[in-house]
Chains A and B, each alone.
Chain A
Amino acid sequence: MAEADAQTTGHTSTGRADGRAAALPNLTRRDEVRRKWLLVAPALVVLALAASGPLLIVLVYSFLTPGNYGGVVWEFSGEAWFKVVFHRDIFDDTLGFADAHLSIFWRSVKLSFLTTVLAFIFGFPTAYFIATRPEKYRGLWLFLITIPFWTNLLIRTFAIMEVIRADGVINQILLGLGVIEQPIQMLATDFAILLGMTYVYLPLMVLPLYASMEKLDFRLVEAAYDLYATRFQALKRVIIPTVKPGIIAGSILVFVPSLGAYVTPRVLGGGKHLMLGNLIELQFGQGRNWPLGAALSITLLLIVMVALLTYIRTTGNSEGGHG
């Protein structure tokens, strides 16, 4: 062994350099691993304290008994989880599905899905438009997209309310033009919620879409045209598949907060058309049933996770269909 070493060191200078080069990566890799953990440590701590901790508390609360004036009594109970789905009649104890809850689940999923679809329909051309502007103007367009973020959500929602109220701008104009005789009831409908949520979450769709479209090589689109693809085929077969990461990111960014939306359905749904967020708030407030609120929160989380997994799985496979 020593002899071999001596031979290598005594050999040529290139041999020595090679030996050192081989030893170096090992050292740096170990260093790198340690540095990586040090770098992610703060994030992990924050994540544990701010995300996992509260989540754990919520999970524990959902298995406790509600206190008389809110809060919880530290006594195990499965009642809250039972109530998420089932309803027990106060008088004769007969069991039935908790129709109110289920219809709110369904409405939440439906409206969030529609919000995502609408945000995509309006957001895609917008992002495409910005991505195809000369580079020096793109910053300006993006800036315009982000302006709504500067105003409080509540104020923006009330502004929409002003627009669609019975004596709001739209009805005034339509009445004035003689198109309608009675004001259209828009406030306190699913339409109002949908309009509000699409408006609020649209930038969250546009930004990731733009980010992936900006990287799109437009020569690929030219290549598609060159190979006899019409504009629609080029969109379907080349543009959409290449900007898919942006579409997925945008859809998640819109769908997830839509599902938990609270302010918009509260203001524009007029208290009649509740969504999950409102239902949960109700349990922690007037309902004084914290465990049920906690169980509903966890349910919301589960719905989001199932929806995301399904979505990612299906979009991930869609291109395979062509192959």
Chain B
Amino acid sequence: MITISAAFAEPESIVSERKSAQPLAFRAFRDTLFGPSETETGGKRLAKAAVEARHVTKAFGDGPERVLALDNVSVEIRENEFFTLLGPSGCGKTTLLRLIAGFDHPTNGSILLNGEDISHLPPFKRPVNTVFQSYALFPHMSVADNIGFGLEMQGKPKAEVAKAVDDMLRLVRMEELKNRKTSQISGGQQQRVALARALAPHPKVLLLDEPLSALDLKLRKEMQIELKRLQNETGITFVFVTHDQEEALTMSDRIAVMSAGHILQVGSPREIYDRPSERFVANFIGDTNLMEVEVVSVSNGRARLRFASGAETEADMPEGMSEAKSVTVVVRPEHAQLAGTGDNGVLSGQLENVVYFGTDTHYHVRLDEGVLFTVRAQNVRGGAEERQPGARTDIVFSELAVQVLRD
């Protein structure tokens, strides 16, 4: 219990920073829609978890067919953040979302909302709404009736429902399609209606299960911006599911990377990208160079590492690994450069392949120890002359570019 309340005491600055970062107009709009949020009116308060999963396990089936969709997952999602569950298909993202929504119940562990255990509540008693991957709009109702459904079920007076529906239609820019049947609007418009419907009752938390995956690229980009805008304007906690790493990086405040029923790493997009803690995370997000290196010495969490080339560097050692004799390190292709004539290279090898991408160029270098290493260089006018395949080259990167994986 003590550790948990300590976990609650997130540095308040994070939340207040985000808040003040919201343009004033957005906040005013949100307040007229939903009333001022507690954190702002309450003055000094500790940022707490909007949603928390504690040691959640979810198993489907029995006996030999038993599938562990989630295996002892714990995660905290903060108030007002855009939180993304990122992972390949089948890793348990939808399952976690369904547990939060209440469509399924955990086999073990509990789900908390604002610190309150809601594991036993049915979906209609949870102040949480879902945007379904398939949209799941009611086909026999108009756009307006779909959007008003939640409020109507909450027993809100008709006039209030009608006003909220109009506000929502304006928010998602769909005023003119108010009376259409949901089968008579396009996929992108259905997406907006699904969003408006889920936002209308002003849930504490909005769950979005791959909401953009059915849209084409252009529409998807538009909706990404739209979603960020809606999250800013409404101040609602968004839990967003995607298998698209780029989408996750561009939209999220924080990302949880999932694989095979586990959450491997939680952090800001920058942390996840620059400081992946596991091989899976490093591989799943962006391009990576992975190398086995020798551990020379460890002190105070800093390790002296020696590459196969003999060059040495220093890097932070993950906790509990001070005994390791060798570790795997990650260097992102754009964090390394081909050495100029005067530089002392960290690694050296032979240039195998040069691929020109317009904005940048990829150099594939076969290192002397046999591993392929990619360097990505931004193309600039009047930059250094292009290197020819076959040439010998050295590779340089700073100590900061080296990230040790916890294997």
Contacts and interface: CB of A to CB of B under 8 A. Distances in A.
A220 B137 CA distance: 7
Interface residues of A, number: 21
Interface in B109-168: 122-124, 128-130, 132, 134, 136-142, 145, 149-150, 153-154
Nearest to B139: A242
Nearest to B126: A226
Given A227-B149, A227-B201, A220 B141 contact: no
A222 B136 contact: yes
A53 interface: no
Interface residues of B, number: 26
B140 A241 contact: yes
B150 A228 contact: yes
Contacts of B138: 220, 223-224, 237-238, 242
Interface string B294-305: 000000000000
A154 to B, nearest CB: 42
B130 A228 contact: no
Contacts, number: 68
Contact of A217 (B102, B136, B142, B153): B136
B140 A226 contact: no
Contacts of A226: 101-103, 123-124, 128-130, 198
Contacts of A319: 140
Contacts of A323: 141-142, 145
A71 B154 CA distance: 68
A20 interface: no
Contacts of A220: 136, 138-139
A132 B188 CA distance: 31
A228 B153 contact: yes
A219 B136 contact: yes
A238 B138 CA distance: 7
B129 A227 contact: yes
A232 B132 CA distance: 22
B197 interface: yes
Contacts of B145: 322-323
Contacts of A227: 124, 129, 149-150, 153, 197-198, 201
Contacts of A322: 141, 145
Interface in B80-130: 101-103, 122-124, 128-130
A212 to B, nearest CB: 12
Interface string A202-241: 0000000000000001011011111111100100011001
Interface of B: 101-103, 122-124, 128-130, 132, 134, 136-142, 145, 149-150, 153-154, 197-198, 201
Interface of A: 217, 219-220, 222-230, 233, 237-238, 241-242, 244, 319, 322-323
25 contacts: A219-B132, A219-B134, A220-B139, A222-B130, A222-B136, A223-B130, A223-B132, A223-B137, A224-B149, A225-B122, A226-B124, A226-B130, A227-B129, A227-B197, A228-B150, A228-B201, A229-B149, A229-B153, A230-B153, A237-B138, A238-B138, A242-B140, A319-B140, A323-B141, A323-B142
Given A228-B201, A244-B140, A323-B142, 4 more contacts: A217-B134, A224-B149, A227-B153, A319-B140
